[in-house]
Amino acid sequence: MQTKTDVCLILEGTYPYVPGGVSYWTHQLIRSLNEFTFSLAVILPDRDPSREYKYDLPPNVKGVQEIYLHDHELPTGCTSAKLKKEDWKDLDTFHQCPRHGQAFQALENLYKNFFNSKTRKFSPHLFADAKQSWQVLEELYQQRAADESFIDYFWTFRFMHYPIFKIMSSDLPEAGVYHALSTGYAGLLGATAKLKYQRPLVLTEHGIYTRERRFEISRADWIYEKTDDKIRIQRSQSRFKEIWNKMFGTLSEICYEYSDQIVTLFDGNKQHELKDGAPEEKISIIPNGIDFEAFSSVTKEPKKDPGQLILGFMGRVVSIKDVKTFIRACKAVSDIIPNLKVYLMGPIDEEPEYYQECVKLTEFLGISKLVEFTGKVPVRDYYRKIDILALTSISEAQPLVILEANCVGIPVVATDVGACRELLYGRTEEDIQLGKSGLVAGITNSEEISKAIVKIWRSKDLRDQMGQAGRERVKRYYNRKDLDNRYRGIYNHHLKVS
């Protein structure tokens, strides 16, 4: 049994198994705040014995608990207490009262009577198949999807709710503070931990979970039955995707309701949170930061060919990073600047099919000899080589790679997503006066991206000015030591709560 820790971090599909911005941030937070003990609750899709840590866990991590969303073996035990008719009514009330106090009270009653291992009157194992649950399902079908296939609705409902039942019946390690690093399933797990242990819940949103899920759902190819009626297929897909989107929206609302404090990275994120129902008084902005001393000490490597443009991309080779747009931009740049070398740096194993498509695209465009897929590399070693860094993501929060590159004096071309614009152009009047440290371009717009790269490369004075502005911006506003102290204050504050 795990020892009670100061903080339980609740993570969904990230640290310590998947590299990336959120995982790196988590690792650095734990290392920097070494006076606190941490436990990790990691939500994963399923059991995988071959899954390995991508990080060496710091000694102040005292335990890791895995929760598998698609393991549908739910607990069978319950107390001897009997259910009343009104206990089942809570199930209907919760579905009928979104963003309403009655719905949250109904949720608490459902957790107490069906999922909390210490108080439940009815087994979670039986909950989904109970007559009363079936009646609620039928009513919801008639109200929301009566013109669709009931079989499709039934399986959508099952696939949607079993992971929720799994989350709500999971017992987390006891901690002084629970800290969820997203809404969604992690946020729901944080809310249930708060209900069980009556300890504070802190939420940090790097990206807006509901927006990212909407993007993924919009691209999902979901067809539930064979039919020649193409119009019906399209309409049915839209209806079921809408149901999934509403479900993830509800999970966010639950997390916002039960969080004692909500931290986000920039004002754009805050506006999305407010729109999705987060109380403004709970929200504070703490941007990401990097180790200024470590990155500012990186010195550029002398180039064998001063006339060669060395272009970099630092990130996972996955669809949300839109690596294909970067590759198309590289082709356009090579038509103007033939003396080009491209390092595409980042893990290639997360979406292997997408990686292969990217490799084939370089071959199709005739630039495969210019582009090197390096896999995961020591980032500082490669920042020594790069003249310009590009970031072509479709969705971002506040990417650390911009801060890292700027700190080394490397200008960045980034798509206009998340906090990229304020990182490169400045946020406050004082910040803006420092000057631009790169250029932003339109999402999926390889032409704008390539033109921005060429513009920066053709002017050494511009590159030098951008490099100087980037270093000063990071030093003043994004030094991790200053930002870590704010989380230190958050933890100390909530640990004092009785």
Structure tokens at 234: 């399209």
Dist CA 312 CA 303 (whole Å)? 15
Q: Residue 143: how many CA atoms within 13 Å on its side-chain side? A: 10
Identify the pLDDT of residue 144. Answer: 86
Identify the pLDDT of residue 450. Answer: 98
Find, among 317, 313, 310, 327, the residue nearest to 365 by Cα.
327
Locus of tokens 């030098």: 464
Whether the per-residue pLDDT at 225 is higher than 50: the answer is no
Bridge-partner residues for 314, per DSSP? 345
Q: What share of residues in the chain are helix, strand, coil (percent, to 5)?
A: 50, 15, 35
Q: Cα 452 vs. chain centroid, distance in angstroms?
A: 28
The edge-to-edge listing of strands for the beta sheet with 340-345 is 371-375, 340-345, 309-314, 388-391, 412-415, 438-441
Find, among 199, 207, 203, 211, the residue nearest to 257 by Cα.
203
Identify the pLDDT of residue 372. Answer: 98
Q: What is the mean pLDDT of residues 412-421?
A: 96
Identify the pLDDT of residue 92. Answer: 86
pLDDT digits (tens, 9 = 90+) for 95-150: 887 667 888 999 999 999 999 998 998 889 888 788 888 888 999 999 888 888 89
Structure tokens at 61: 């991590």
- Residue 305 has φ and ψ, to the nearest 5°, of -125, 95
Identify the pLDDT of residue 127. Answer: 86
Mean residue pLDDT of the chain comes to 91
Identify the pLDDT of residue 42. Answer: 97
Q: What is the mean pLDDT of residues 376-402?
A: 94
Identify the pLDDT of residue 98. Answer: 65
Q: Residue 354: how many CA atoms within 13 Å on its side-chain side? A: 16
Q: Where are the alpha helices (DSSP H) in 148-299?
A: 150-168, 184-197, 209-219, 230-258, 267-275, 292-296
Structure tokens at 33: 């705040």
Confidence of residue 221 (pLDDT cuts 50, 70, 90): low
Identify whether the C-beta of residue 113 lies closer than 8 Å to the C-beta of residue 83. yes
Identify the pLDDT of residue 237. Answer: 52
- Residue 48 has φ and ψ, to the nearest 5°, of -150, 100
- 292-478 matches 1-82+167-289+479-498 in CATH topology: yes
Q: Cα 85 vs. chain centroid, distance in angstroms?
A: 40
Break the chain into its structural domains and give their ranges.
Answer: 1-82+167-289+479-498, 292-478
Q: Is the peptide bond before 16 cis (omega within 30 degrees of 0)?
A: yes
292 contact partners, CB below 8 Å, separation of at least 6: 407, 474, 475, 478, 479, 480, 481
Whether the per-residue pLDDT at 295 is higher than 70: the answer is yes
Tally DSSP H helices, then E strands, for the chain.
20, 13
Whether the per-residue pLDDT at 39 is higher than 90: the answer is yes
Whether the per-residue pLDDT at 238 is higher than 80: the answer is no
DSSP-derived 3-state class of residue 209: helix
User: DSSP readout, 29-84?
Assistant: HHHHTTTS-EEEEEEESS--TT---SSPPPTTEEEEEEEETT---------SPPP-
Structure tokens at 30: 């734990």
The edge-to-edge listing of strands for the beta sheet with 61-68 is 61-68, 38-44, 5-12, 175-180, 201-205, 261-264, 283-285
- Per CATH, which fold does 1-82+167-289+479-498 belong to? Rossmann fold (3.40.50)
Identify whether the C-beta of residue 329 lies closer than 8 Å to the C-beta of residue 453. yes
Distances (CA, A) of 126 to 32, 70, 87: 45, 17, 15
Confidence of residue 233 (pLDDT cuts 50, 70, 90): very low
Confidence of residue 229 (pLDDT cuts 50, 70, 90): very low
Identify the pLDDT of residue 461. Answer: 97
Instruction: Give me Rg for the CA atoms of the chain.
Output: 25
The pTM of this model reads 0.82
pLDDT digits (tens, 9 = 90+) for 314-361: 999 999 999 999 999 999 999 999 999 999 999 999 999 999 999 999
Q: Which CATH number fits domain 292-478: 3.30.1330.90, 3.20.190.10, 3.40.50.2000, 3.40.50.10490?
A: 3.40.50.2000
